[in-house]
Chains A and B, each alone.
Chain A
Amino acid sequence: MANGTAVIAGKSFYEEGTTKSKSGIASWIFSTDHKRIGLLYLISIVSFFIIGVIIAELIRLELIAPGETIVDAETYNRLFTLHGVIMIFLFIIPGIPAVFGNFFLPIQIGAKDVAFPRLNLLSWWLYMTGAVLAITSLFLPGGPADTGWTFYVPYSVRTGSNVIFALLAAFILGFSSILTGLNFVTTVHRLRIKGMSFFKMPLNIWALYATAWIQVIATPIIGITLLLIIIERTFGVGIFDPTLGGDPVLYQHLFWIYSHPAVYVMILPAMGVVSEIIATFSRRTVFGYKMVAFSSLTIAFVGYLVWAHHMFTAGLSETAAVVFSLLTFIVAIPSAIKVFNWVATMYKGSIDPRTPFKWVMVFIFLFSIGGLTGLVLGSLATDVHLHDTYFVVAHFHFVMFGGAGTIFFAAMHYWFPKMFGKMYNEKIADIGVYMFLISFLTLYFPMFLLGYNGQPRRYFDYLPQFQTLHVISTIGAWMMLITITLVVWNLIHALRKGEKAPDNPWGGVTLEWQTSSPPPLENFEEMPNVPNEPYDFSHLTGIKDGSK
């Protein structure tokens, strides 16, 4: 290596670190190695995801019968708030960028680390601080927030629960997200390996890059909005509180100016991973590469202009409502461009449907349902009927969980061999995928029907005629719990007992497959070759027919 620094050949980043202490927990929580930070995030994020799931199981159990079943109304409010806050701020927003982005962004562009390794570590510490704050409120008098994850005023200014903890948590997590974002933007601009122009970057990088911009541009708005509520609550300053002349609808605007783009922070990185997996397992270059790349940027941009579709029933002017409805329809176009290009990529590819690919198929199916029902909600007339019903709950679980969440699992299975150097049992993993699809539909599809028939969201009670559908959904929740346990167990088992993974188990062509599994501290023993085009499978022609 240059500068005469000795990187001992054959040592992986597990055996060699950036800290003084060579092993033990300190070598992890103070490490500035992007791979270790990615794994720190992985452990934390999966843990919080599991806590979120357990809370969700309690929610579903309460809903198994009308009336009070296991918790009272007040506790129920706290449960769904905590579930929402954990799933949104601790799981799905940081999920793919912080774990897989951290681990693979530098490797895929041939860099040794991100641009600001220490800021990267700081962002994990901030993440943990936020998480701890959110969880501590559980054990304090007053209890956790009961406002819903949206913290709408005036209730969030009045309630006696510990909203400030949840608000501060979200604020700090936002800061963490901003640091990740500006780190990634700078890394992509400054640290690409020689020869990797923007249009040779893997689509995953394009997606992470677009996401990073949203993180930088949108997050400060929620930061200030939540901060203003904190100020309002602590000092009694009049800002949003209507009794002091404030305007609660202004709060909603500010909240959604961030929180709609935030859904693209969730879904764009997932779409990037999808492009990778489809290319690899179809053995074919991504159809319409540039279109897919640009559509990420378009989504990031137009996604910034649609926020008020969450407020159609909050007293928007008619003109504003029509404009926002139209823009909402327009933002569906770049998403559709992606889906069609993915399908075109598979056409005449030589498809090898391994586990990650199966996860992606589940994604396309569930995400399409989520996206199309989004259009139903984006239309003014139908939204008036469906607003704040279980139709919305079903819709956003299809998009977030069925979309981004599914790809979290897909990415886990795709990059597992690279990250840990072990293979998992693919049969069990495949069973996990099938079970996931079935449980998911059982759990959430009834919610569309419930909502269409008028069941409002955020209620611990319901009319007797809704019970059958609620029971089906709760059974789905149990199936989902079993599925998640199986999938996670299979991977943990592979960590301990799995066979050693080859460097390139799937025949991928992006740079991470040119290094060893797991990679060395500085990612590459020798500098990787940058291919002429991002997904070049031409070496396969002749071996496999039909590709290209």
Chain B
Amino acid sequence: MEANNISEHVTHRHRDDVGAKLGMWLFLFTELLLFGGMFLAYAVYRMKYPQQFHISAMEMNTTMGTLNTIILLTSSLTMVLSIAAMQKRNKFLSIIFLLSTLFLGTLFLINKYFEWSHEISKGIYPGSEVLLSKQNGEILYFGLYYAMTGLHGLHVIIGMIVLVFMLVFVINDNIKWDDYVKLENAGLYWHLVDIIWIFLFPLFYLIQ
């Protein structure tokens, strides 16, 4: 592989799938650390205000959270299937599964929108009077809730934008059965988004 790279012309198409994936893994690692900082903050504040975190967590709608977990997990599956279809040279199926992934992503966001609106309708949002009249631990809980799920939602959106690009690439044969590392990398990103949710879910919805 290495000798191969050297003899290839860089300014022309330079292809190194292993390198591309290595780069992607490094990037995912930075994303994990980015969220890691917030998980750390969560851990610290949970230790500091266990009682108040408990009270706040009771307010969460576990059903909505569970539903969203199922949606995202399924979307990871359809993502994998899309890559598998591509490997089996089935472009059509690959597109179908990509579209399903996008659909599930949208569903997740819609669900999230209703969940947030529900909290907001109760008057619980950053800087609101209802929230500020609560205890410190509760303010922090909801602060973290909005910041973490918000940033995660942003990642879902970014992931979906990436997937739309992948869709276009698959359609115009920029991604093909023998050259699909882009699709794989997009898939890795999508799984990351999923995994982060898997951690957010118990922290905000299950542990009470």
Using a CB–CB distance below 8 Å, which chain A residues touch chain B? 1-3, 5, 18, 32-33, 110-113, 115-117, 119, 178, 181-183, 185-186, 189-194, 216-217, 219-221, 223-225, 227-228, 231-232, 235-239, 244-247, 250, 254, 521-522, 527
> How far, in angstroms, from A18 to B11 measured CA to CA in the complex?
6
Question: Known contacts A3-B12, A235-B127; is A189 also within 8 Å of B22 by CB?
Answer: yes
Could you show 21 A-B contacts with beta carbons less than 8 Å apart? A3-B7, A18-B11, A115-B16, A117-B10, A182-B27, A185-B26, A190-B5, A217-B29, A220-B33, A224-B34, A224-B36, A231-B150, A235-B127, A238-B126, A238-B140, A239-B143, A245-B49, A245-B139, A522-B9, A522-B10, A522-B11
> How far, in angstroms, from A193 to B11 measured CA to CA in the complex?
17
Residue of A nearest to B137 (CB): A245
Question: Known contacts A113-B10, A194-B3, A239-B41; is A189 also within 8 Å of B26 by CB?
Answer: no
Bin the interface of chain B by size. 35 or more
Which residues of chain A are near B29, meaning CB under 8 Å?
A: 216-217
> Is B201 interfacial (CB 8 A cutoff)?
no
> How far, in angstroms, from A183 to B147 measured CA to CA in the complex?
30
Binary per-residue interface labels of chain B (128-156) against chain A in the complex, 1 for a CB within 8 Å, 0 otherwise: 00001001110110111011001100000
Residue of A nearest to B23 (CB): A186
Binary per-residue interface labels of chain B (1-35) against chain A in the complex, 1 for a CB within 8 Å, 0 otherwise: 11101111111101010110011001101110111
> How far, in angstroms, from A328 to B5 measured CA to CA in the complex?
42
> How far, in angstroms, from A15 to B144 measured CA to CA in the complex?
54
Residue of B nearest to A527 (CB): B6
Residue of B nearest to A213 (CB): B26
Which residues of chain A are near B12, meaning CB under 8 Å?
A: 3, 5
Q: Is the CB of B22 within 8 A of A186?
A: yes
> Is B207 interfacial (CB 8 A cutoff)?
no
Question: Known contacts A186-B22, A245-B140; is A1 also within 8 Å of B9 by CB?
Answer: yes
Interface of B is mostly: helix
Q: Is the CB of A115 within 8 A of B23?
A: yes
Q: Is the CB of B2 within 8 A of A190?
A: yes
A237: which of B18, B34, B126 is its contact (CB, 8 Å)? B126
A3: which of B1, B9, B126, B144 is its contact (CB, 8 Å)? B9
- Nearest first, the 4 closest Cβ-Cβ pairs linking A and B are A245-B136, A236-B127, A224-B37, A220-B33
* Chain A proximity of B154: nearest CB distance (Å): 10
Which residues of chain B are near A115, meaning CB under 8 Å?
A: 16, 19, 23
Question: Known contacts A228-B147, A237-B126, A254-B40; is A220 also within 8 Å of B23 by CB?
Answer: no
B139: which of A183, A194, A217, A238 is its contact (CB, 8 Å)? A238
Which residues of chain B are near A110, meaning CB under 8 Å?
A: 6
Q: Is the CB of A183 within 8 A of B34?
A: no
Given known contacts A183-B23, A225-B37, A235-B146, what 6 new A-B pairs fall within 8 Å (CB)? A3-B8, A5-B9, A182-B30, A190-B16, A238-B139, A522-B11
Question: Known contacts A183-B23, A190-B18; is A235 also within 8 Å of B126 by CB?
Answer: yes
With contacts defined as CB atoms under 8 Å apart, how many contacts are there between chain A and chain B in the complex? Answer: 144
A116: which of B7, B11, B23, B36 is its contact (CB, 8 Å)? B23
* Chain A proximity of B40: nearest CB distance (Å): 7
> How far, in angstroms, from A237 to B35 measured CA to CA in the complex?
17
Which residues of chain A are near B180, meaning CB under 8 Å?
A: none
> How far, in angstroms, from A365 to B80 measured CA to CA in the complex?
57
* Chain A proximity of B51: nearest CB distance (Å): 13
> How far, in angstroms, from A115 to B5 measured CA to CA in the complex?
10
> How far, in angstroms, from A522 to B9 measured CA to CA in the complex?
8
> Is B89 interfacial (CB 8 A cutoff)?
no
Q: Is the CB of B37 within 8 A of A238?
A: no
Q: Is the CB of B147 within 8 A of A239?
A: yes
Q: Is the CB of B31 within 8 A of A246?
A: no
Which residues of chain B are near A178, meaning CB under 8 Å?
A: 27, 30
Question: Known contacts A2-B8, A250-B44; is A238 also within 8 Å of B26 by CB?
Answer: no
Q: Is the CB of B48 within 8 A of A247?
A: yes
* Chain A proximity of B203: nearest CB distance (Å): 15
Q: Is the CB of A247 within 8 A of B44?
A: yes
Question: Known contacts A186-B23, A220-B31, A224-B34; is A521 also within 8 Å of B44 by CB?
Answer: no
Which residues of chain A are near B169, meaning CB under 8 Å?
A: none
Which residues of chain B are near A112, meaning CB under 8 Å?
A: 6, 9-10
Q: Is the CB of A191 within 8 A of B5?
A: yes
* Chain B proximity of A218: nearest CB distance (Å): 8
Q: Is the CB of B9 within 8 A of A223?
A: no
* Chain B proximity of A258: nearest CB distance (Å): 9
> How far, in angstroms, from A232 to B140 measured CA to CA in the complex?
11
Residue of B nearest to A235 (CB): B126
> How far, in angstroms, from A362 to B49 measured CA to CA in the complex?
53
> How far, in angstroms, from A232 to B9 measured CA to CA in the complex?
48
> Is B177 interfacial (CB 8 A cutoff)?
no
Question: Known contacts A224-B35, A527-B6; is A237 also within 8 Å of B147 by CB?
Answer: yes
Which residues of chain B are near A183, meaning CB under 8 Å?
A: 23
> How far, in angstroms, from A178 to B23 measured CA to CA in the complex?
11
Residue of A nearest to B7 (CB): A2
* Chain B proximity of A344: nearest CB distance (Å): 34
Which residues of chain B are near A189, meaning CB under 8 Å?
A: 19, 22
> How far, in angstroms, from A228 to B147 measured CA to CA in the complex?
8
Which one of B8, B16, B26, B144 has the highest number of Cβ atoms from chain A below 10 Å of its Cβ? B26
> Is B38 interfacial (CB 8 A cutoff)?
yes
> How far, in angstroms, from A119 to B18 measured CA to CA in the complex?
17
